[in-house]
Amino acid sequence: MNPKSSHSKTTAESPTPRRVAIVTGGTRGIGFGICKALLKRGIAVAAVYHSDAAAARAAESETAASGGEFFTCKADVSVHSEATRVVDEVAERWGGVDILVNNAGIFRFAFLESMDESFFDSLYSANLKSMFHMIKASLPWLKKSGEGRVVNASSISGRLADVGLIAYGCSKAGVDMLTRVAAAELAPYGVTVNAYAPGIIATEMTREMIETRGNEQKKQIPLGHFGAPQDVAELVAFLCSREAGYITGEVIGVDGGTFKVQNPARAWDFSRGKG
């Protein structure tokens, strides 16, 4: 669809044009939390998923009950043609794209000795290359919007080295650099580019890790508990808003203070009278 054609519709009840968002990995966990936060703000949302059709149907059912413009789209956005198809479908349906949330990604653990090239490539494709494809495909519409927003999923692992996470950590460090450079390159068009860097958020993806070593992990979190999807979603919704128009190139942690200070568990010991 040609970006020069009509954009988001205006209604009598809402004189401000309705904005349109694409959220990759948007049918479960953090991604679905982001979708709900955007819908709550009157934004039309297309949620992209890779393979979990059951989660997509559940997301459609839940959002239908609460109202709002929402649909799901199956695609592998690490493939250029698939990313382009998603953007074209959304623009055809709603007249444009104002917001892109690159939330899709995978988390896998492997030591260097046991890692092969396909393992490394799979994380780079899902966590970094997919963002490149989605930004490129969406860019004509984001520029036309005049207030385009891109928000990328980074991680504390992009800045804090952890054994077993060479591929994952490198892919997320790449997200941080992509975010900063794209912020500068797209600023002349009024497009902001930011990233959120979650710590441990309680979702299906982190369930096994929390069950096996959650108590040890909590000792590294000053706030003393794991995050929830809505903790990330509210930040992302703000970064997508018109009010956040002077924030760009930022990678913002949502991690309960993880690794901001050594030995945070000592503060909890002191608060219990053990200090």
Residues annotated as catalytic (active site), given as ranges: 168
| Cβ pair 94, 8 in contact under 8 A | yes
Instruction: Write the CB contacts of 120 (distance below 8 Å, at least 6 apart in sequence).
Output: 166, 167
Distance in angstroms between the alpha carbons of the first and the last residue of the chain = 64
The angle formed by the CA atoms of residues 209, 212 and 215, to the nearest 5 degrees, is 95
How many whole angstroms separate alpha carbon 45 and alpha carbon 231? 19
Contact status, residue 85 vs residue 75, Cβ threshold 8 Å:
yes
Burial class for 217, CB neighbours closer than 10 Å (0-12, 13-18, 19+): middle
Locus of tokens 């393979």: 51
8 Å CB contact between 217 and 210: yes
Angle at which helices 229-239 and 29-40 cross, to 10°: 50
